[in-house]
Structure 1
């Protein structure tokens, strides 16, 4: 795999292989509860890391706490090059709804919980997920994150579900290491979902490139592929690959600053996703896909 560097201008940059793994799909239905097949979930984590994946994306509100505990069970003590990235700013209610959890006190509680469940003294990268835009000022949320960074609980701070304006504001407030937005071949812009708005990656990609900030796409395989259209499906058939594999290859070719993190609860699909890193798309094929 090719590599990408997070926080390249900092004193402690992190270089990772350019296909990560998003753990959200390891939970039960509705991203809630334990996995249907716990042994396979643990096997997926071990296989991913053994295959060169050294960037794992998680959150304590997946499950809740399910993916963090699975990661620790499968991989602790962690390989030296493994980067664990978590998210704060949201929580779950017993009815499985998603709600903001983003006051400074909330964020500190979430960080402490992530440290405990991941069995770490410091988390290398934490994304502040923006929910309920405006309810708690961004300046107040990021101020709390940077305070936790100064205390040594966080190494690098990123933003998730962020608009262009919010990213510009964040860059004025401090060092933003990464951005995690929804992005895939067929779903590049903002999407309204039952639990809230997911901001697309297209509106911030050029800003990320200008500042050397990796863009980490989430939901690249969930919402995009059913509406991908004939171009992606047709080219996938011609290449003898799945649309999901072609979507990952498209992301890798779209910009060197994109770090895909496709998730799956299937060991077979994980292996398919890994093979996408070997695909080469010509300039003509990228122009055809658009």
Structure 2
């Protein structure tokens, strides 16, 4: 199962539909070095060896921890590997997450990612929106497109957006991908740190309409009444974990979904990879509706 990012671009990217998110490779609170560094490196190597060629990272994971792990484990990178990073936020010493999204901030973040990932160009960058603030979306996204013109970014994506923000982004230029919280039990309404409602299904519908892959993160959330019960029931019947069934549901829900389940356990990684082989019937999907 594959999909194409930016299919109408001369620099389109074809990726396997099951990726890997590096966030959990860091220490507690998404901060500091991994508890088991050799295992973290082996996870990255194993994922790529088993066909994963889409890896999500950010320079504010750690800080810079996951980028450095990627270099240590995989550089020089396989030719077909797509490394996707995020900008728009940073971390304070107290581990809090704060906006870092002025044009100057975004340029600093891109330069840092290029340096730590040892790349001449970042293939895909998600501009993560951190809620309302003094820097409007058009100013943030305009800076991203300028960096793209300079050749520092190949493709621009958006993260943590609602349908209105995605529409606004599309009016400004090509949006290659969207990265949002989305999963079986969290898809009707999403809320950011400021309590704003963001439509999960509405964003997916827009992505499908425009041929934009939606990269779901933090997808196993029991946020809807009784949703977790159905997932648990069918998982028991099929002899798989709820996490595996959630991944399988995402892969069956839409051909534009590109799950990136993360883990700090090599055994759990193998379970996640095996989820791609789980077949769900039309009856299964109707039950999980």
- Scaled to the shorter chain, the TM-score interval is over 0.9
Offset, 1:203? 2.5
Aligned residue number for residue 190 of structure 1: 190
Q: Secondary structure at the match of 2:90?
A: strand
Which residue is 1:139 aligned to?
Answer: 138
CA contact (8 A) 1:30 1:96 kept: yes
Q: How many residues align?
A: 288
Q: 1:222 to 1:118 in 2, by over 3 A?
A: farther
1:126 match: secondary structure: strand
Q: Distance in 1 between matches of 2:269 and 2:16?
A: 15
Separation in 1, partners of 2:222, 2:258: 18
Deviation of the 1:79 alpha carbon: 0.2
The superposition leaves residues 75-128 of structure 1 with CA deviations (integer Å, 9 ceiling, x where unpaired) of 000000000000000000000000000000000000000000000000100000
TM-score, with structure 2 as normaliser: 0.96
Unaligned runs of 5+ in 2: none
Q: In the alignment, which residue of structure 2 is the partner of 1:242?
A: 241
Taking the TM superposition and a 5 Å limit, the aligned residue runs for 1:1-290 are 2-188=1-187, 189-193=189-193, 199=198, 201-221=200-220, 228-290=227-289
Say which SS state the counterpart of residue 138 (structure 2) adopts.
Answer: helix
Give the root-mean-square deviation of aligned CA atoms. 1.7
Secondary structure, in 3 states, of the residue corresponding to 1:245?
helix
Relative to structure 1, the CA distance from residue 150 to residue 35 in structure 2 (aligned partners, 3 Å threshold; closer, same or farther) is same
Task: Give the C-alpha shift of residue 222 in structure 1.
Answer: 5.4
1:224–1:73: structure 2 CA closer, same or farther, 3 Å change rule? farther
TM-score w.r.t. length of structure 1: 0.96
* Deviation string, structure 1 residues 158-180 (Cα, Å, up to 9, x no partner): 00001110000000000000000
Partners of 2:225 and 2:120 in 1: how far apart? 41
For the Cα contact (< 8 Å) 2:222–2:228, is it kept in 1?
no
